[in-house]
């Protein structure tokens, strides 16, 4: 789409390298009849091959100029376009077994992932993000990248990094490397979290100040005896705990 100036406020960096377009589409492996939604289709680099292989997809585009051009190119039977902010969009309206694909704007990547994580209708997600964000998503306990985003996502998804994408694959080129991640819901293996809001509060408080011990970080939610009752040392720091420990802490806090 010639003549469109990338808009910083929307975090627009358009994928233009055909090699990486093909790699992403092959990773998604869309099939006819799949319930696909693309977040931020932009110039349609991914939209075209996704629509070709799936037959139809939905797309969410916040930029009205780009949405108008996409509407002119794709007939409704190939593309259902929602002109909306993905952070506020109700993905449940798109139906079950939803497959999400997107080159996510770096400036909203974490809140958008938190927003998507609340939906039970997801079949999988294939998203391109800043490489450092993907490192946090896939981190293991007791590593520098392990944090709130890690725990919140790994409590719901199996997360894997597929491959990196260099800055030169985009126009304009971002200042950082990107990576493509796959997130698959844990299904029956998902830990039982009775109170999702309380779980989120526990995780946020634990990582709010990384140098604090759990006894200090969680003082408003759990006393030291309650932390010990979970089999966890109150003197430990959040980044040393596996996801299951946060689930146990939230369960304990819910019965206080």
- Residue ranges matching CATH 3.40.50.150 in the chain: 8-189
Sheet architecture: strand order including 98-103: 79-83, 57-61, 35-39, 98-103, 122-130, 178-185, 157-165
Q: What is the number of other CB atoms lying within 10 angstroms of the CB of residue 36? A: 24
Alpha-carbon gap, residue 191 to 245, rounded angstroms: 11
Alpha-carbon gap, residue 189 to 13, rounded angstroms: 36
DSSP assignment of the chain, as one string? -TTPPP-GGGT--EE--HHHHHHHHHHH---TT-EEEEE--TTSTTHHHHHHHHS-EEEEE--HHHHHHHHHHS-TTTEEEEES-TTT--GGGG-SSEEEEEE--GGGHHHHHHHHHT-TTEEEEEEEEEHHHHHHHT--TTSTT-SHHHHHHHTTEEEEEEEEE-GGGEESPPSS-EEEEEEEE-GGGS---S-HHHHHHHHHHHHHSTTSBHHHHTTTT--HHHHHHTT--TTSBGGGS-HHHHHHHHHHHHT-
Looking at residue 256, its pLDDT comes to 67
Q: 196-254: which CATH architecture?
A: Orthogonal Bundle (1.10)
Looking at residue 12, its pLDDT comes to 61
For residue range 172-214, list pLDDT tens digits in order: 888 899 999 999 999 999 999 989 999 999 999 999 988 899 9
- How many CA atoms does the CB half-sphere of 188 hold within 13 Å? 0
- Residue ranges matching CATH 1.10.8.100 in the chain: 196-254
For the chain, give the mean pLDDT.
93
CATH class for the region spanning 8-189? alpha beta
* pLDDT beneath 70, residues of the chain: 1-12, 256
Find, among 177, 36, 13, 172, the residue nearest to 96 by Cα.
36
Looking at residue 195, its pLDDT comes to 94
């Amino acid at each position: 789409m010639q003549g469109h100036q990338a808009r910083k406020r929307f975090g627009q960096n358009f994928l233009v390298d055909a090699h990486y377009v093909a790699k992403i589409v092959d990773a998604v492996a869309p099939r006819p009849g799949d319930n696909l939604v693309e977040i931020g289709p932009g110039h349609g680099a991914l939209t075209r091959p996704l629509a070709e292989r799936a037959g139809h997809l939905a797309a969410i585009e916040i930029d009205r100029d780009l949405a108008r051009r996409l509407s002119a190119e794709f007939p409704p039977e190939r593309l259902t376009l929602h002109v909306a902010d993905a952070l506020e969009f109700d993905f449940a309206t798109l139906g079950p077994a939803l497959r999400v694909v997107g080159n996510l704007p770096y400036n909203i990547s974490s809140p958008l992932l938190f927003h998507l994580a609340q939906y039970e209708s997801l079949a999988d997600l294939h998203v391109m993000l800043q490489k450092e964000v993907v490192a946090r998503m896939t981190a293991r306990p007791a590593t520098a990248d392990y944090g709130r985003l890690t725990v919140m996502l790994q409590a719901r998804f199996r997360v894997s990094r597929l491959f990196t994408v260099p800055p030169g694959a985009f126009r304009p080129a971002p200042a950082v490397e990107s990576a493509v991640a796959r997130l698959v819901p844990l299904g029956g293996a998902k830990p039982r979290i009775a109170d999702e809001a309380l779980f989120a509060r526990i995780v946020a408080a634990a990582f709010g100040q990384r140098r604090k011990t759990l006894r200090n970080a969680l003082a408003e939610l759990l006393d030291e005896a309650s932390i010990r009752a979970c089999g966890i040392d109150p003197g430990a720091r959040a980044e040393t705990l596996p996801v299951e420990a946060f689930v146990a802490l939230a369960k304990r806090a819910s019965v206080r």
